[in-house]
């Protein structure tokens, strides 16, 4: 990091999966973090896991910054609702005073395995509302705050997905949002330059979470077969996000792809 004060982050979707892993990693290593998600009890569980990780860590171990005290703030938030996103960022500003990082992570896959011609419009809108509208609302709120604060600037990291590159079968809504996030990432990177606001994207494949657990027993492949797929430790994703987050604002990981090395993505699969 480029100075010695405690850095402040917002992590959306912090109650489970990748969001939880990233939030715990940041808190464990000296960040203060606002945990955002739809279920308050899951956010409190994440905060408790971070406290336990801090208690178990020896001073200065594994990159833990010395002399920094991390704290968490839990804010129940539905990122698809503009008024709740506004309340999330206001709470962060009032509690911590500034914002250095938004990990724009909240998302949903939607109904899995539904043929495109049978996908209900309501399901399409739900995925768009969470994955794309929610990412826009959070990024815009972060951008406004980072532009106005002193010192100016900050970093936004969008959770893209391997689906930002290529789809799985029967994933039209999810894949459409993740392709759109790539465009949002590029636009934010360009528009944020005058204000020291940088934006990158992490595209993740088969991190071991509750959402990906069915892949270890069988996932639909492009040829119509069902096959088990390898997964990777979600902690490896969290450490990658922290590396991206802790670069000085003069440097940026524009796109990072982190995936289980044996998954059917590269080559003919």
Show which residues are catalytic.
174
- DSSP 3-state assignment of 7? coil
In 3D, which of 126, 131, 221 has the Cα closest to residue 176?
A: 131
Q: Are 170 and 123 in contact (CB under 8 A)?
A: no
Burial 24-55 (b: 16+ CB within 10 A, else e): bbbbbbbbbbbbbbbeeebbebbbebbeeebe
Angle 118-124-127 (CA atoms, 0-180°, nearest 5)?
Answer: 135
Beta bridge partners of 104: 158
Asked whether the beta carbons of 29 and 245 are under 8 A apart, the reply is no
CA 117 vs CA 16, 125, 199: distances in Å: 31, 15, 35
Distance of CA 163 to the CA centre of its chain: 15
The residue whose two tokens read 């802790």 is 246
Residue 161 per-residue DSSP state = -
244 near 260, Cβ under 8 Å? Answer: no
Nearest partner of 249 among 146, 98, 113, 128, judged by Cα: 146
Q: How far is CA 56 from the centre of its chain?
A: 25
């Amino acid at each position: 990091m480029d100075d010695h004060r405690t850095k402040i982050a917002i992590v959306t979707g912090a109650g489970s999966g990748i969001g939880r892993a990233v939030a715990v990693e940041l808190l464990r290593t000296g960040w203060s973090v606002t945990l955002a998600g739809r279920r308050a009890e899951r956010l409190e569980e994440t905060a408790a896991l971070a406290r336990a990780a801090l208690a178990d860590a020896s001073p200065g171990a594994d990159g833990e910054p010395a002399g920094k005290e991390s704290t968490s703030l839990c804010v129940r938030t539905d990122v698809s609702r503009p008024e709740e996103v506004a309340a999330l960022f206001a709470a962060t500003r009032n509690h911590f005073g500034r914002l250095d990082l938004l990990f724009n992570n909240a998302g949903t896959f939607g109904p899995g395995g539904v043929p495109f011609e049978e996908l209900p419009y309501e399901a399409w809108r739900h995925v768009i509302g969470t994955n794309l509208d929610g990412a826009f609302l959070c990024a815009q709120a972060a951008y406004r705050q980072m532009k106005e604060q002193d010192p100016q600037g900050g970093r936004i990291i969008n959770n893209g997905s391997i689906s930002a590159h290529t789809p799985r079968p029967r994933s039209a809504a999810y894949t459409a949002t993740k392709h759109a996030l790539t465009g949002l990432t590029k636009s934010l990177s360009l528009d944020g330059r005058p204000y020291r606001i940088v934006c990158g994207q992490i595209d993740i494949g088969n991190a071991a979470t509750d959402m990906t657990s069915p892949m270890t027993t069988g996932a639909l492949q492009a040829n119509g077969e069902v096959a088990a797929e390898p997964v990777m430790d979600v902690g490896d994703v969290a450490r990658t996000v922290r590396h991206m987050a802790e670069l000085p604002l003069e440097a940026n990981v524009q796109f990072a792809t982190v995936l289980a090395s044996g998954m059917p993505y590269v080559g003919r699969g």
